Amino acid sequence: MLSRSSEPAMYNAKGRLDLNTLLKQYSPLVRRLAHQMIAKLPANVEIDDLIQVGMIGLSDALARFDASQGVQFETFATQRIRGAMLDELRGNDHLSRGTRKQQRSIEGAVHKLEQKLGRAPSEGEIAKEMGISLTEYQDMLGKVRGTQLVYLEDIGGDDGEQEFLDRHVADESSNPLAQLQDRRMREALVEGIKSLPEREQYVMSMYYEHDMNLKEIAAVLGVTESRVCQLHSQSIARLRVKLREY
């Protein structure tokens, strides 16, 4: 438990731990850690979700902290907050795996056609390669909406999930190898976007660079929101094929 002598401000006039005051006092730490983490994560991860689970991690830290161990509370809390956020990311990633079989099928068809045609295949060509109608293919694109550019399982090795999270969101220390890999990833992503069909380039630019939502993009392009979702999903599939080469 927290020590009264080392953390006097954490207690109220009755000598009891003032949890509400402490949660308010350290909530900026939660928000700071969430923003550091979100900058390295896919666009479909919500900052509010990270903050919410981070506050749960902070509450857990307040309940478990023991000043006699010689550790500063903020250091201890940071570990607990990050741990809660990482657990949430792993859980969400696991829940999304039901859509990956379809995503992998699309990517396989895209890759095969790019090798064969030497260009980005059209939706009709991808559907034909998959042995389904264009309507079925577009319905599939709508179902895999929100899929990520990088999945935890994309990183090789039995401990790939842990290594990926540690390198990209958990470890804030300077790692030259990680920095090189991240730079190569960004460069590959930029080149991949340039190779997209023009309309898909517009979608990706508006979504990621200008932070526009699907409804706003639909209004600009003069199409339905569901059509923008399809274009976005197809762009992600093309880019994931490209990023495997990096």
Q: Quickly count: other Cβ atoms within 10 Å of residue 54's Cβ.
A: 26
Instruction: Write down the pLDDT at residue 97.
Output: 62
- Residue 150 confidence (pLDDT) above 60: no
Residue 63's pLDDT band, with cuts at 50, 70 and 90, is: confident
Q: Give the residue ranges of DSSP H helices in 133-197.
A: 134-143, 160-165, 176-194
| Amino acid occupying residue 152 | L
| Amino acid occupying residue 243 | L
- Answer for the pair 220, 206: CB distance below 8 angstroms, yes or no: yes
Pairs from 31-36 (Cβ < 8 Å, separation ≥ 24): 33/78, 33/81, 33/82, 33/85, 34/85, 36/169, 36/172
Q: What is the pLDDT of residues 153-176, one digit of tens each?
A: 443 334 444 554 555 555 444 445
Min mean pLDDT across 55-64, 96-105, 112-121, 136-145 is at: 96-105
Instruction: Write down the pLDDT at residue 230.
Output: 92
Rounded Cα gap, residues 58 and 37, in angstroms: 16
Q: What is the pLDDT of residues 106-139, one digit of tens each?
A: 999 999 999 999 999 999 999 999 999 999 999 9
- Residue 74 confidence (pLDDT) above 50: yes
Mean pLDDT of 175-187: 57
177 against 214, higher pLDDT? 214
Mean pLDDT of 82-86: 88
Mean pLDDT of 180-208: 78
For residue 54, which of 29, 76, 17 has the smallest C-alpha distance? 29
- Residue 197 confidence (pLDDT) above 60: yes
Residues constituting the chain: 246
Residue 4's pLDDT band, with cuts at 50, 70 and 90, is: very low
234 against 240, higher pLDDT? 234
Instruction: Write down the pLDDT at residue 42.
Output: 61
Which tokens hold the place of 37? Answer: 């983490």
Mean pLDDT of 145-154: 53
Q: Quickly count: other Cβ atoms within 10 Å of residue 6's Cβ.
A: 11
What are the beta bridge partners of residue 17? 11
Instruction: Write down the pLDDT at residue 68.
Output: 81
- Answer for the pair 77, 26: CB distance below 8 angstroms, yes or no: yes
Please give the angle made by the CA atoms of 64, 69 and 71, to the nearest 5 degrees: 85
